[in-house]
Amino acid sequence: MDNRQRRNREAIVAAAASARPVTRRDIAARTGLSVSAVASTVSGLIVDGVLVERGDQATSSGGRPAARLGLAPDLGVLVGVHLGHADTRAILARPDGTVLAERSRSLDVDHRPGETLEYVASSVLELADEQGLEHRDLLGIGVAASAPVVLPSQTLGSPPMLSDWNEVDIAERLVRRTGLPVHVGNDANLGALAEADAGAGTGSEAMLYLLLSEGVGAGLVVRGRLYGGASGRAGELGHVPVKQDGRICRCGGRGCLETVVGAHALLDALGQSYGRSVGLDDLVAFANRGDAGVRRLLADAGRAVGSALVTVCTMLDPDRIVVGGKLGRTGDVLLDAIRETLRATLPPVTNQSPTVVAAALGERAESLGAVQLARRGSMERFVAAAARR
């Protein structure tokens, strides 16, 4: 196999590495290869056991329906990890997106990096053992971190918003502990990829994903590709200033959106009436029970988020805004406030009707996006594993 053939194979495998099966024409459009070149290479990849044809078929304007393609499920197992601010989640999944096992735990991630990474590594290895997997079955780990991640170094952005993680090399520690390839990305970006691929953003041309939980983040996916900016740090919506004389933010700025709608701000506002022990899960439960005070708080938060989104929408023209994280589970009061603020504030020259919807993947979105990151980092291994068969 010459270099051109290998590059074509890897490009086609990467184009097919989606939770949603794709057709040969989809792959040709994504790679820029001719349909005939894709068809012949795909045939070889099916014979080699890298790709499979799925049972469902795509509709077509004429002729027979086009078969959909996806990665073969038996190529190995991928790991997706989300390091939230207050909890962790680890998922084992097949290359086709089938989840095999999952484990989560509440943990003070922000201030306990050593304990957190040891728990993650142990969980991954224990889950694999429980599934009867051998080490060679594991292809790699994707990690969704709740902080800006600088690419290509995969290091946390500086100045660090998580000061206790300042000297921590997440990838190096997990590689040393597990012996697996590790890829690190920002959690909102990876949540955006997951929702665009197999969630509420499916079919969107330009989808903006909001992660509203302990912190505030955003990710933009345009025609299936994540926009990361020059260094991978695009999407830090939580650190857009919205209050001139507001609180000091953990990023060092003043009056950032996160100081208004992040967990600390919302729970502080509830403290006097609901008690200092109230957490985000309690807030979600109160909202879903129709608690008037919590609904008012969420409406105010939605208006603040909507105001911050006006400039973003004017500049980037998303057709869909997907609201995820714990606050995405609070119902329409938050979403309605975002919708109403955008309708009232977007300038007439812009798209006046971006759809605002709740995320479909729930609290799994970021770890499923981390599975995608591991999958994209395993392209060469997929091809090499099939070649050894």
How do residues 91-114 score in pLDDT, each as one tens digit? 999 988 899 999 999 999 989 999
Q: What's the pLDDT at 349?
A: 86
- Alpha helix segments (H runs only) across the chain: 3-16, 24-31, 35-47, 113-130, 170-178, 187-198, 258-261, 263-274, 280-288, 292-316, 332-345, 365-376, 379-387
Same domain, yes or no, for 50 and 175?
A: no
Question: For the chain, what is the domain count?
Answer: 3
Centroid of chain to Cα 331: 21
Q: What is the DSSP letter of 74?
A: G
Same domain, yes or no, for 29 and 150?
A: no
Structure token digits, residue 102: 């999952």
Q: What's the pLDDT at 8?
A: 86
The answer to the question of residue 329 being in a domain is: yes
The answer to the question of residue 259 being in a domain is: yes
Same domain, yes or no, for 228 and 351?
A: yes
Residue 18's CATH number = 1.10.10.10
- The mean predicted confidence, pLDDT, of the chain is 89
Same domain, yes or no, for 16 and 89?
A: no
The answer to the question of residue 194 being in a domain is: no
The answer to the question of residue 23 being in a domain is: yes
Same domain, yes or no, for 10 and 56?
A: yes
Q: Which residues of the chain have pLDDT under 70?
A: 1, 19, 55-65, 158-161, 383-389
Same domain, yes or no, for 25 and 62?
A: yes
The answer to the question of residue 133 being in a domain is: yes
Residue 288's CATH number = 3.30.420.40
Same domain, yes or no, for 280 and 298?
A: yes
Same domain, yes or no, for 45 and 118?
A: no
Same domain, yes or no, for 86 and 171?
A: yes
Can you give the residue range of the structural domain that contains 65?
Answer: 3-71
Burial of residue 133 (CB within 10 Å: 0-12, 13-18, 19+) is middle
The answer to the question of residue 218 being in a domain is: yes
Same domain, yes or no, for 176 and 241?
A: no
Give the strands of the sheet with 77-83, arranged side by side: 99-106, 87-93, 77-83, 138-145, 182-186
The answer to the question of residue 195 being in a domain is: no
Same domain, yes or no, for 221 and 253?
A: yes
Same domain, yes or no, for 232 and 323?
A: yes
